[in-house]
Copies of this chain bind each other. A is one copy, B any other.
Amino acid sequence: MPHNIAILGASGYTGAELIRLIATHPSFRIAALSGDRKAGQPMASVYPHLRHMDLPDLARIEDIDLKDVDLVFCALPHATSQAVISELSEDLKVVDLSADFRLGDPAEYEKWYGKPHSATALQKEAVYGLTEFYREEIRGARLVAGTGCNAATGQYALRPLVEEGVINLGDIVMDLKAAASGAGRSLKEHLLFSELSENVKGYSMGGAHRHIGEFDQELSKAAGRDVRVQFTPHLIPATRGILLTCYLKGDPERVYETLADAYANEVFVEVLPFGETPQMKDVRASNFCHIGVVGDRLSGRATVVAALDNLTKGSSGQAIQNANLMLGETETAGLMAAPVYP
């Protein structure tokens, strides 16, 4: 029997990506779509590429009957999400794609997001949604917090290394290249084609990016002690994808073995042969993450490169992977589509 799914905030990119993935999911059925500013419109007018699907029109959240819904994907903006989820029935399973429940500590939340959390009980309840590392908790969770897309990439690259202590935890440098859809469909000057084409630029430089809060929380948890990374994202002229280059102090072969072992049984995380590194496009529009390790002419240095699609594995694909677990489905259901290349 299909599970009834509602998507709140369906008019953004992560909402559209959820619908795209559910289109071929064997047991999910879209029962409701919300989109406040576009309430009343058919999805085909917001996203004509979904024209062939038989979808409910966008509705206001308050007009949606969630009684028969089994799980809600909440793809609302940060801060809005906590307000909306607080109002939902406590029996309803929720996968939140916003940043609202990623940080468990109210003080950390306030530090990175600039205001106090308004739903601290939910914050406590939420399970961090990095499936490969929280699989069992997610299976039993009612509320799962989707990770930041950059934070996911970094953790796939680093988490096993931090856990095993095979790198110098005081000297982790991460240089990330992010495509534009990570910033959503928002109207900002630097996201215009004329500005971004033929351009690259660092942003949130110097340790100001909010996903660093997730690195602090999760890598410290993994290490059993405080870990503080240096993290610099760059915007690149592409639509989808993240490529992360991590500069580490440690033995490259041991780094490689640690990652290869950690992911040996994971379907979605592929570790390349030692000495090869992934390209961003090789995971495009898929739920796969590719990781590679190389050494350096300078001994004791290892470079780890990780690639994933910010909208799929970094967000909506991850959300469906988690929902599969929460609803007792096969974890990979609806997620095995191969990357789109070229």
Determine if B194 and A192 form an interchain contact, defined as CB atoms under 8 angstroms apart: no
Determine if A236 and B236 form an interchain contact, defined as CB atoms under 8 angstroms apart: yes
A280 interface neighbour in B47, B198, B232, B341, Cβ under 8 Å = B198
In the assembly, what is the distance between CA of A270 and CA of B243, in Å?
Answer: 29
Copies in the complex: 4
> Which residues of chain B have C-beta atoms less than 8 A from A285's C-beta?
285, 340
A245 interface neighbour in B24, B234, B236, B298, Cβ under 8 Å = B234
A303 interface neighbour in B179, B205, B241, B298, Cβ under 8 Å = B205
In the assembly, what is the distance between CA of A185 and CA of B190, in Å?
Answer: 10
CB contact list, A48-68 vs B, under 8 A: 48-53
In the assembly, what is the distance between CA of A292 and CA of B241, in Å?
Answer: 26
Q: Give me 15 other A-B pairs in contact (C-beta within 8 A), A198-B284, A206-B303 excluded.
A: A23-B338, A49-B341, A51-B272, A51-B288, A52-B268, A193-B193, A195-B281, A197-B239, A197-B342, A198-B238, A198-B239, A198-B240, A199-B238, A207-B296, A234-B243
Please tell me if A295 contacts chain B, counting CB pairs below 8 Å.
yes
Please tell me if A180 contacts chain B, counting CB pairs below 8 Å.
yes
CB distance from A41 to the nearest CB of B (A): 14
- Can you list 20 A-B contacts (CB < 8 A)? A50-B338, A171-B171, A177-B177, A177-B234, A180-B194, A185-B342, A193-B197, A197-B238, A199-B279, A200-B238, A201-B277, A201-B278, A202-B277, A202-B303, A205-B294, A207-B296, A228-B298, A234-B243, A240-B342, A285-B340
Determine if B201 and A243 form an interchain contact, defined as CB atoms under 8 angstroms apart: yes
In the assembly, what is the distance between CA of A85 and CA of B13, in Å?
Answer: 43
Please tell me if A187 contacts chain B, counting CB pairs below 8 Å.
yes
User: Which of A195, A272, A294 has the most B CB atoms < 10 Å from its CB?
Assistant: A195
Please tell me if A135 contacts chain B, counting CB pairs below 8 Å.
no
Please tell me if A175 contacts chain B, counting CB pairs below 8 Å.
yes
Closest B residue by C-beta to A199: B281
Please tell me if A122 contacts chain B, counting CB pairs below 8 Å.
no
